[in-house]
Structure 1
Amino acid sequence: MEITHHGGYLGVTGSCHQLHLNSAESILIDCGSFQGADARRRTSPEIEFSLDGIKALLLTHVHIDHIGRIPYLIQAGFDRPIYCTPPTAKFLPVMLEDAIRLGITKNKKVVGSLVKSITELIHPVSYGKWQSLPGNAEFRFSTAGHILGAAVIEIKNKDAWICFSGDLGSRCTPILNPPVSPERADLLVLESTYGDRIHEGRETRMERLEAILLETLENRGVTLIPAFSLGRTQELLYELNQIIEGIGKKHGSSALSAYDIIVDSPLAIKLTDIYEQMEPYWGQEAREILTVDKQPFVFNNLIEIDRAGESAGNLEYLKRSGKPAIVIAGSGMCAGGRIMDYLRAFLSRPNTDIVFVGYQAVGTTGRAIQDCQEGKCSVRIDQHEYPVRAKTHTLSGYSAHADQLDLIKFVQGIPKPPKEIRLVHGEDHAKEVLQKKLQELGYNTVYFKDDRNDAPIRNSNH
């Protein structure tokens, strides 16, 4: 077996790996969009590789950098099974419908036709169940802990046992079960997004978020939280529910009525509804919470905004009224979506706080704001320069990605050390630091430093 990497091996976005099962048959693992600087290095989002012999697409999860090129795959003629976990099967059509409307066409007929074609190819496979593939190979999904439905993928035949980690979750994620290491991996293709750092703990992140909420209240400002519609938004709502309850106990219920918490994202609202139907796949803590709180993502201060007209009206109201508010909106990297309207309105106000709770890719507006020193630079949005006078905060504890400790724990959980660990889905510095740490522990670890996109796998009989 050999791998051809079609994305996600040099930078963070665009994950797409082709595993050749034999000389004539192969499968794809993910088919994601490029974002930020990764996207600007490419001339087209369309599929640039041959589909000959590709027998299936296996998905690790439904974030756009792992699924965003599927519509182009369909347009190129792909008509093979799309294997994924049951939660991913529920989320996938919703995520791709939104992506098609925003990135390809707003023509309802074309959107509907593409989504229908994709939906007809989806084959849900339960966690832990081995599923047959061509070439006398088989695969199974294990829990990845990144977002609901995320999976680690193990693929084996008589010669080799390959593992694709996909995106692994953090130990601080309360509503998901932790990642499960593979039973074996001759080659481990491992994500490295935060291979160079260690996240703050859950208690610390909640304390910091509570402090920001109280500061917003005192300054009568607006706190903006760019968040992915799936995963981060639900986790924020889950913990905001607890934080608000704590504020009420410490400062009285009148403090709570002074500001609103607004989710301005039609996609996030739709996905949260599906999330609530997926209770069997929640983590233990979240399932236990249900015994005392049947709606852990809902609380009195919460306002959900769906329609565009309501969003515009809410924005104007916040600009005029000076009422304190916390706004959660997409996109998570400030690469589009309704968060951009709020940034244009509030980025230059000193009583604005911007809270980053997830990775900001190089070349995105989110990364530009994150790298700004308060009051000392500006950010270009739609050809206009906006001074960054807002205070910025990065709460690394809310990342849905494993940190260095989590990644090492995942590797050490494999009973027999892999013959090779191949780092993907990370910036060079993150990969370099993680490589050094793993090599110090005795693991043969490599990553790509150039545009080479073919590399043979060391089979188990080597």
Structure 2
Amino acid sequence: MDYPDILHHGAKDGVTGSCHQLLMDAEHSLLIDCGLFQGAETSGEGKSAADRLAIEFPLDTIKALVATHVHIDHVGRIPYLLAAGFKGPILCSEPSAKLLPIVLEDAFKLGFSSDQRQVERYIKLVEQRIIALPYKTWFNLHESESLTCRIRLQRAGHILGSAYVEVDLHYPKTGEKKRIVFSGDLGAPHAPLLPAPRPPYRADILVVESTYGDRLHEDRRTRRQRLDRVIEKALANNGTVLIPAFSIGRTQELLYELEDIIHSKRLDAGGKGQARAVAPSLSLKAGKCDSTVEIDWPTLPIILDSPLASRFTQVYRELKPFWDSEALERAKQGCKPLAFEQLLTVDSHQAHLAMVRHLAQTARPAIVIAGNGMCSSGRIVNYLKAMLHDPRHDVLFIGYQAQGTPGRAIQMYGERGGYVDFDHERYKIGAKINTIGGYSAYADQKGLLGFVTGMRLRPSQVRIVHGDPSAKYELGERLKALYKQAGCDLELVIPSGASDA
């Protein structure tokens, strides 16, 4: 076998289960991510199939695991990796080092045990394994007469702590040097809290995601205005806006922009002498006029019904030094992007059920953010079961809905008066369905192409993963055309099917 080589244990047939093994030589390899499969990439019900949880590849040569970021489709199988006998360190960015134990605690409770003593022992083990790496700093992972390996993390702009990975390999006996880059999930420009990713200087081999490799996003710079308009229209129905959101990343971005809207509305009202600073309450006064509702933004409750998202939001506040310059400037001016007074958190399960009943019965204007983002589990499911049939309510999607998930079914069939299945029971879709594409946390085709072609020394081999077949194909065709136009050679690899390579 020629080295280096790469095996793809996940994210080759779709957009979840990211797991890539860099074979450096016969005795040393590196694992990039170890994520959970979701949606149609698992079972028809969108639940993780047992045969896709098991670690089926040998671990004897794997010296370390690098976590590009802490989304469950990139780290969700770490408990199974440790149970299979992995003894090496877990390398990640400094923000991810604070976020990862929270994610893995939740994964451990769902997959192994909710016994608190076992959970605490497990998390202590995880924390002992984590090595937090500063961005832009080389870390020497291995050095011997036959092989040296160092890695460096760069900001990927996907969620706080996300990184793409540069791996430098040197084979002293032959003098060969190779740089391999794993993109992880790349973010798009103009995302709240995060700077846009910058391409690396060079790569010989690039493993790149392709989630949106076949499409372009709506203009992200105007998405706050679109969010404002969609919510105003939705709340005019005298109902609740339900927003399925991932606990980490999308939720915090959404809170950031909702606070910006509320702040702007308060300033507008103040300019007219009508500003009110009233504590949030579910007893809202909604004045009716010609079947429309006057929305009082300064008192509109924003309900975050996710204990996990609340924990992540608190950590996001603690990680303020990693915010981008715009967010830091807003904080300096007195804004509280992740802790504004209209924000209500729902913690206990009993309080959650009470909130669902209250909003379903009263249909009073409110915005509910709950996980999970694809509606396959979590508290959003109870809201949808209780309220999805009612045309007074709206569902607003701001994230990618994978094939086979309830979120994709609602998105596709909602406007047709369709239905969705939850727990083997059918629910009619009567609520209005909205999607704001500019809220994707992923780079679009333009961003992905720019990441590749923006390198000073482009990779001669590009391996496209983490995308639906059409997205991978379209991205590959565009790359081939751009390389041909530039007079550069390109070896394009699109792993799929039974073969890992």
Structure 2-normalised TM-score?
Answer: 0.88
Opposite residue 315 of structure 1, the aligned amino acid is V
Identify the residue that residue 317 of structure 2 maps to in structure 1: 276
Opposite residue 439 of structure 2, the aligned amino acid is Y
SS in 1 for 2:415: coil
Identify the residue that residue 262 of structure 2 maps to in structure 1: 244
- Distance in 1 separating the partners of 2:298 and 2:151: 51
For the pair 1:140 / 2:181, whether they are aligned, the reply is no
CA deviation profile, 1:86-130 (whole Å, cap 9, x unmatched): 000000000111122123322223222222211110000111111
CA deviation profile, 1:48-74 (whole Å, cap 9, x unmatched): 111111110011000000000000111
- Distance in 2 separating the partners of 1:84 and 1:353: 38
* Aligned pair partner of 1:401 in 442, 447, 453: 442
Identify the residue that residue 451 of structure 1 maps to in structure 2: 498
Identify the residue that residue 221 of structure 1 maps to in structure 2: 239
The answer to whether the 8 Å contact 1:216/1:324 transfers is no
For the pair 1:25 / 2:28, whether they are aligned, the reply is yes
SS in 2 for 1:272: helix
* Distance change (3 Å), C-alpha of 1:86 and 1:437: same
- Distance in 2 separating the partners of 1:445 and 1:404: 16
Q: Give the % identical residues.
A: 46
Identify the residue that residue 14 of structure 1 maps to in structure 2: 17
Identify the residue that residue 232 of structure 1 maps to in structure 2: 250
The answer to whether the 8 Å contact 1:375/1:389 transfers is no
- Distance in 1 separating the partners of 2:360 and 2:396: 19
CA deviation profile, 1:164-215 (whole Å, cap 9, x unmatched): 0000001121310111212211110000000111111234322221112212
For the pair 1:308 / 2:308, whether they are aligned, the reply is no
The answer to whether the 8 Å contact 2:363/2:392 transfers is no
Identify the residue that residue 181 of structure 2 maps to in structure 1: 163
For the pair 1:154 / 2:135, whether they are aligned, the reply is no
* Aligned pair partner of 1:378 in 419, 441, 454: 419
For the pair 1:86 / 2:94, whether they are aligned, the reply is yes
Q: Using the TM superposition, give the Cα deviation of residue 373 of structure 1 relative to its aligned residue in structure 2, in angstroms.
A: 4.0
Across the aligned residues of Structure 1 and Structure 2, the Cα RMSD in angstroms comes to: 1.6
Report 1:69-80 matches (<5 A): 69-80=77-88
* Aligned pair partner of 1:289 in 330, 335, 338: 330
CA deviation profile, 1:233-264 (whole Å, cap 9, x unmatched): 11001000111223344565571256321000
- Distance in 2 separating the partners of 1:214 and 1:139: 47
SS in 2 for 1:160: strand
Identify the residue that residue 113 of structure 1 maps to in structure 2: 121
Identify the residue that residue 185 of structure 1 maps to in structure 2: 203
CA deviation profile, 1:149-171 (whole Å, cap 9, x unmatched): 10010001123110000000011
The answer to whether the 8 Å contact 2:21/2:32 transfers is yes
Opposite residue 238 of structure 2, the aligned amino acid is R
Q: Using the TM superposition, give the Cα deviation of residue 40 of structure 1 relative to its aligned residue in structure 2, in angstroms.
A: 2.0
Opposite residue 155 of structure 1, the aligned amino acid is V
- Distance in 2 separating the partners of 1:16 and 1:423: 13
* Aligned pair partner of 2:56 in 37, 48, 56: 48
* Aligned pair partner of 1:392 in 430, 433, 436: 433
- Distance in 2 separating the partners of 1:210 and 1:444: 45
Identify the residue that residue 424 of structure 1 maps to in structure 2: 465
SS in 1 for 2:30: strand
CA deviation profile, 1:209-238 (whole Å, cap 9, x unmatched): 111221233211111111111111110010
Opposite residue 124 of structure 2, the aligned amino acid is K
Identify the residue that residue 214 of structure 2 maps to in structure 1: 196
> Structure 2: which 5+ runs fail to align?
171-176, 277-295, 484-489
The answer to whether the 8 Å contact 2:96/2:162 transfers is yes
SS in 2 for 1:56: strand
> Structure 1: which 5+ runs fail to align?
455-462
SS in 1 for 2:198: coil
Per mean C-alpha deviation after superposition, the further-off stretch among 25-34 and 96-105 is 96-105
- Distance in 2 separating the partners of 1:220 and 1:110: 46
Opposite residue 177 of structure 1, the aligned amino acid is P
- Distance in 2 separating the partners of 1:321 and 1:143: 45
- Distance in 1 separating the partners of 2:331 and 2:186: 25
The answer to whether the 8 Å contact 1:85/1:150 transfers is yes
Q: Using the TM superposition, give the Cα deviation of residue 374 of structure 1 relative to its aligned residue in structure 2, in angstroms.
A: 1.6
Identify the residue that residue 451 of structure 2 maps to in structure 1: 410
Q: Using the TM superposition, give the Cα deviation of residue 365 of structure 1 relative to its aligned residue in structure 2, in angstroms.
A: 0.9
The answer to whether the 8 Å contact 2:266/2:298 transfers is no
* Aligned pair partner of 2:402 in 361, 364, 373: 361
Identify the residue that residue 459 of structure 1 maps to in structure 2: none
- Distance in 2 separating the partners of 1:32 and 1:45: 9
Q: Highest CA radius of gyration, 1 or 2?
A: 2
The answer to whether the 8 Å contact 1:74/1:117 transfers is no
* Distance change (3 Å), C-alpha of 1:214 and 1:174: same
- Distance in 1 separating the partners of 2:138 and 2:400: 33
- After TM superposition, which residue ranges in structure 1, 4 or more long, deviate above 4 angstroms? 249-254
Count of aligned pairs between the two proteins? 454
Identify the residue that residue 174 of structure 2 maps to in structure 1: none
Q: Using the TM superposition, give the Cα deviation of residue 447 of structure 1 relative to its aligned residue in structure 2, in angstroms.
A: 1.1
SS in 2 for 1:372: helix
Per mean C-alpha deviation after superposition, the further-off stretch among 110-119 and 85-94 is 110-119
- Distance in 2 separating the partners of 1:369 and 1:250: 36
Q: Using the TM superposition, give the Cα deviation of residue 294 of structure 1 relative to its aligned residue in structure 2, in angstroms.
A: 4.8
